[in-house]
Chain A
């Protein structure tokens, strides 16, 4: 058997269940006597609620309860601030969190107003149609800049204006950098909203067992432990009385990390009150306005360079649409602010952002979580600078990369994890070189000219990115050898397709000398493990993986100690492999892990003082700061100059996330990230009217990329291990999605020779029609 497990491209332990339809998803939970919830949601972006008439709904056969905000009494509370802002000097932060059901005023389309519980979902939806709400529509706050004007309506009437946050951070002396610059480049960029649209929408089932006095909640959350703790507090139960299970989750991508969604507050409360199980499954229409979204920013940026194209400093001022409430604090704009510096040596930075309340759906992190915006701005600025200086676009990047001997590299800003933004390790030049080589950069000019002679428009893009990953606070893992010889690993994070059942098993198997198939992983069940933060910020492999490593190392020590006592020999003489311990050179002197587990948990007899039973250990890992991954994407695109339809001819990813746990899973994470990036760059646009209505709230109108839109891609790696964790790994969940907007913009400009016509691509998302408008500014 292989002794090394980390780094093997193993197929996944969880797949047989998923492939045969046996894996449990939240909507698969069926319980006797279960009721079904449906919600009446606001049709207005902003309106006063004058009256709510629920009589007809209550009278409908099969309806069990109809609940408004008034009916919730003291249970009606704004949600908690999920992520408090880090301590940044001089900042303004005004917290307004979402409410379970709107009271007095609705603040975005899709905000829940009335909850109906009935014997079936069909009846519950019928009853929603019976409810009459008298609204007085009010002028909504939609545009970012309009929201700042002194005569703008206010999303929250008790605030002086629509500013949710105003944060300034600086590094070095930008004014001095500017004063000595040979070139100053100024641009404005917009980067609009997208929706994560996991194939499984949100859902929650709650069951109160009044005999056991225990509430069980199945929830599509990425953070089951915090949902458990929060629900227990809200409902006046002990944490032991609440079990939250995040079973198999059909994709998360960030918005399932948000908490508490109104439905998460209401469904368990209703189950307790009615003493019957209650289920609510979000439909796709609800998902488009009730699940959080991301990405509306407008950046004004200035780049100061010396005569050779070396960056002297950057000044950036951006507005961000945070939606109607901001329970997620400053995570998204701080990611944008910090990630803008990218992989470059920027001596001076002056950055301000204002987060703005609007009457649109809430903004919380979605894969990339604001990093896209920062990367887009910096990469676009470098493209503009290259043109102004007459430099090759790869060369201007190379001249500004942080050199390999400059790590750890301090950016002097406060990052989303409250720690100073420091890049722990990296070696960026080989990444760029590898991408340029793989895409055929040196030969592309000839290729482009040849295609153009045939009437085809080919363009190349190459961009760099960093991804802050693996942030704290901490995760934990418990490893145990069972009497059967098989091993269990339990952790508090939820899983949404990342392969945790396999990659964590590899980490444990590596230490314990067992088959990866014999490590049974439990994630997201608070009755099995109930410490930890959750699955977000590309941190599972880094933080949970390191905790699993720590626990497995401790169990290995216990195994060897128990075996040494058994054989009455020195631990150094023992070999742990193939699920057993043997004496080196005497393979017939062998004891299996199962037998050792039984020895470690004796039924009779005396044990030594201080003995802890079992071959079990629990370990926690909390990194001092995040590990920074990096990479470069390159592609060759063909644009049909008549229809503006893009075809990606080649796509190259070079990614460095330190030690690779499982290259098969990693390549899947990256390819999936790129696919979402492609959707965000060119297919997916949430189209809102000026009065706050979403026009394309269906998958027929909001275009997720299909198998015809996402190309085959080459995924290449470099490995610069992180010194911040014992595995040397960095996260990889979001990197694929981060640079794609910048890549599209550059490649499209190249294909259509737009800069020569005085046109630049300064916005995302694009579409054929929008690109046509950009290329034909006079119409």
Chain B
């Protein structure tokens, strides 16, 4: 049993015939070919697969692609490019906020949304917002530094 589903991903309409049980994370990665979204646990804990669904950060392993029908999905590929990183991406590079980089796309999507709502966060607020994303490499300190640095730069250019 397959269903035709159309999602908007990073502004492009993507239409595929899929099984209703297909996870949104698998749709994004293997149907739309956007492999920047990573899968870490497939039970909604690690946050690596976080995307934005109509602007809200959402774990794409916890919903089916058919549930996202007609909704607006944004992935890490919608941020900057290697030659023109977003402010947050650049801050991650400057503050060494990533090591293996596997959890990074999910963290970028979570924190991009966070900074839109919290332009001047303190460290505690950043740590709370970050606590739903697991990173096994960095010990988080440089990620926190990166988010605070990005917030500062965004405020300065606002």
Which residue of B21, B41, B140 is within 8 Å of A284 (Cβ)? Answer: B41
For chain B, the bracket of interface size reads 35 or more
Q: Which residue of A lies closest to B145 (CB)?
A: A712
B54 lies within 8 A of chain A by Cβ: no
Query: Bound complex: CA of A2 vs CA of B29, how far in Å?
Result: 42
B138 engages A668 (CB within 8 Å): yes
A18 engages B101 (CB within 8 Å): yes
Query: Bound complex: CA of A196 vs CA of B100, how far in Å?
Result: 14
Query: Bound complex: CA of A21 vs CA of B43, how far in Å?
Result: 22
Query: Bound complex: CA of A664 vs CA of B142, how far in Å?
Result: 10
A275 lies within 8 A of chain B by Cβ: no
Which residue of A22, A248, A698 is within 8 Å of B41 (Cβ)? Answer: A698
Q: Which residue of A lies closest to B128 (CB)?
A: A708
Query: Bound complex: CA of A712 vs CA of B141, how far in Å?
Result: 6
Query: Bound complex: CA of A699 vs CA of B42, how far in Å?
Result: 10
Query: Bound complex: CA of A251 vs CA of B100, how far in Å?
Result: 6
- Please indicate the chain B residues that have their CB under 8 angstroms from the CB of A699 in the complex: 40-41, 43, 45-46, 134
Which residue of B29, B82, B99 is within 8 Å of A20 (Cβ)? Answer: B82
A200 engages B100 (CB within 8 Å): yes
Q: A21-B36, A250-B38 are in contact. Are A668 and B142 (CB under 8 A)?
A: yes
Q: Which residue of B lies closest to A711 (CB)?
A: B141
- Please indicate the chain A residues that have their CB under 8 angstroms from the CB of B33 in the complex: 30
Q: A11-B94, A497-B100 are in contact. Are A20 and B128 (CB under 8 A)?
A: no
B104 engages A18 (CB within 8 Å): yes
Query: Bound complex: CA of A22 vs CA of B39, how far in Å?
Result: 15
Q: Which residue of A lies closest to B83 (CB)?
A: A16
Query: Bound complex: CA of A667 vs CA of B95, how far in Å?
Result: 11
B152 lies within 8 A of chain A by Cβ: no
Q: A21-B76, A122-B19 are in contact. Are A16 and B82 (CB under 8 A)?
A: yes
B138 to chain A, nearest CB (A): 5
B102 engages A250 (CB within 8 Å): yes
A743 to chain B, nearest CB (A): 15
Binds B, one of A340-348, A503-511, A670-678: A670-678
Q: Which residue of B lies closest to A662 (CB)?
A: B96
Q: 1/0 contact trace for A29-51 toward B, CB 8 Å?
A: 01000000000000000000000
Interface residues of A in 609-650 (CB under 8 A from B): none
Which residue of B77, B99, B127 is within 8 Å of A21 (Cβ)? Answer: B77
- Please indicate the chain A residues that have their CB under 8 angstroms from the CB of B43 in the complex: 284, 698-700
A18 engages B38 (CB within 8 Å): no
Interface residues of A in 581-607 (CB under 8 A from B): none
Q: Which residue of A lies closest to B132 (CB)?
A: A706
Q: A11-B94, A199-B46, A199-B103 are in contact. Are A21 and B37 (CB under 8 A)?
A: yes
A11 engages B37 (CB within 8 Å): no
A12 lies within 8 A of chain B by Cβ: yes
Q: Which residue of A lies closest to B123 (CB)?
A: A712
B139 lies within 8 A of chain A by Cβ: yes
A284 engages B100 (CB within 8 Å): no
Query: Bound complex: CA of A664 vs CA of B22, how far in Å?
Result: 41
- Please indicate the chain A residues that have their CB under 8 angstroms from the CB of B48 in the complex: 199
- Please indicate the chain B residues that have their CB under 8 angstroms from the CB of A579 in the complex: none
- Please indicate the chain B residues that have their CB under 8 angstroms from the CB of A712 in the complex: 123, 141, 144
Query: Bound complex: CA of A708 vs CA of B128, how far in Å?
Result: 7
A231 lies within 8 A of chain B by Cβ: no
A19 engages B101 (CB within 8 Å): yes
Query: Bound complex: CA of A713 vs CA of B81, how far in Å?
Result: 32
B14 lies within 8 A of chain A by Cβ: no
B93 engages A30 (CB within 8 Å): no
B140 engages A199 (CB within 8 Å): no
Which residue of B34, B100, B139, B143 is within 8 Å of A198 (Cβ)? Answer: B100
B79 lies within 8 A of chain A by Cβ: yes
Query: Bound complex: CA of A675 vs CA of B141, how far in Å?
Result: 10
B58 lies within 8 A of chain A by Cβ: no
- Please indicate the chain B residues that have their CB under 8 angstroms from the CB of A25 in the complex: 35, 38, 102
Q: 1/0 contact trace for B1-41 toward A, CB 8 Å?
A: 00000000000000000010110000001100111111111
Which residue of A22, A28, A675 is within 8 Å of B140 (Cβ)? Answer: A675
Query: Bound complex: CA of A519 vs CA of B79, how far in Å?
Result: 26
B136 lies within 8 A of chain A by Cβ: yes
Q: Which residue of A lies closest to B79 (CB)?
A: A20
A17 lies within 8 A of chain B by Cβ: yes
Which residue of A27, A704, A713 is within 8 Å of B35 (Cβ)? Answer: A27
Which of A12, A199, A671: most chain B CB closer than 10 A? A199
Interface residues of A in 677-731 (CB under 8 A from B): 698-700, 704, 706-708, 710, 712-713
Which residue of A22, A283, A668, A700 is within 8 Å of B99 (Cβ)? Answer: A668
A413 to chain B, nearest CB (A): 32
A19 engages B89 (CB within 8 Å): yes
- Please indicate the chain B residues that have their CB under 8 angstroms from the CB of A673 in the complex: 139
Query: Bound complex: CA of A707 vs CA of B45, how far in Å?
Result: 14
Give the interface SS of chain B, mostly helix, strand, loop or mixed.
loop
Which of A28, A250, A664, A713: most chain B CB closer than 10 A? A250
Which of B94, B105, B134, B142: most chain A CB closer than 10 A? B134
Query: Bound complex: CA of A672 vs CA of B37, how far in Å?
Result: 23
A85 lies within 8 A of chain B by Cβ: no
Q: 1/0 contact trace for A239-274 toward B, CB 8 Å?
A: 000000000111101000000000000000000000
A20 engages B142 (CB within 8 Å): no
B119 to chain A, nearest CB (A): 20
- Please indicate the chain B residues that have their CB under 8 angstroms from the CB of A251 in the complex: 99-100, 102, 136-137
- Please indicate the chain A residues that have their CB under 8 angstroms from the CB of B133 in the complex: 707
Query: Bound complex: CA of A197 vs CA of B103, how far in Å?
Result: 12
Interface residues of B in 74-115 (CB under 8 A from A): 75-77, 79-83, 85, 89, 92-94, 96, 98-105, 108
Which residue of B22, B83, B85, B100 is within 8 Å of A496 (Cβ)? Answer: B100
B130 engages A707 (CB within 8 Å): yes
A137 to chain B, nearest CB (A): 28
B131 lies within 8 A of chain A by Cβ: yes
A313 lies within 8 A of chain B by Cβ: no
A707 engages B89 (CB within 8 Å): no
A555 lies within 8 A of chain B by Cβ: no
B98 engages A19 (CB within 8 Å): yes
B65 lies within 8 A of chain A by Cβ: no
Q: 1/0 contact trace for A491-509 toward B, CB 8 Å?
A: 0000011110000000000
A53 lies within 8 A of chain B by Cβ: no
B135 lies within 8 A of chain A by Cβ: yes
B21 engages A122 (CB within 8 Å): yes
Query: Bound complex: CA of A496 vs CA of B98, how far in Å?
Result: 11
A671 engages B139 (CB within 8 Å): yes
A23 lies within 8 A of chain B by Cβ: yes
Q: A20-B81, A27-B29, A122-B22 are in contact. Are A674 and B93 (CB under 8 A)?
A: no
A15 lies within 8 A of chain B by Cβ: yes
Query: Bound complex: CA of A143 vs CA of B13, how far in Å?
Result: 57
Query: Bound complex: CA of A676 vs CA of B138, how far in Å?
Result: 9
Q: Which residue of A lies closest to B143 (CB)?
A: A707
B43 to chain A, nearest CB (A): 6
B90 to chain A, nearest CB (A): 8
A671 engages B141 (CB within 8 Å): yes
A689 to chain B, nearest CB (A): 21
A11 engages B76 (CB within 8 Å): no
B13 to chain A, nearest CB (A): 20
- Please indicate the chain A residues that have their CB under 8 angstroms from the CB of B128 in the complex: 707-708
B105 engages A21 (CB within 8 Å): yes
11 contacts between A and B (CB under 8 A): A15-B101, A21-B36, A25-B102, A199-B102, A199-B134, A250-B38, A250-B40, A668-B138, A672-B99, A708-B128, A710-B141
What are the 4 A-B residue pairs with the smallest beta carbon separation, nearest first?
A21-B36, A250-B102, A497-B100, A18-B101
Task: Give chain A's interface residues, CB within 8 Å of chain B.
Answer: 11-12, 14-23, 25, 27-28, 30, 122, 196-201, 248-251, 253, 283-284, 496-499, 664-665, 667-669, 671-676, 698-700, 704, 706-708, 710, 712-713, 736
**Further contacts, 19 of them, CB under 8 A, given A22-B36, A698-B45, A708-B128:** A12-B96, A18-B104, A199-B40, A250-B101, A250-B103, A283-B42, A284-B42, A497-B99, A667-B142, A671-B142, A673-B139, A699-B45, A699-B134, A700-B43, A700-B45, A704-B136, A708-B127, A712-B141, A736-B139
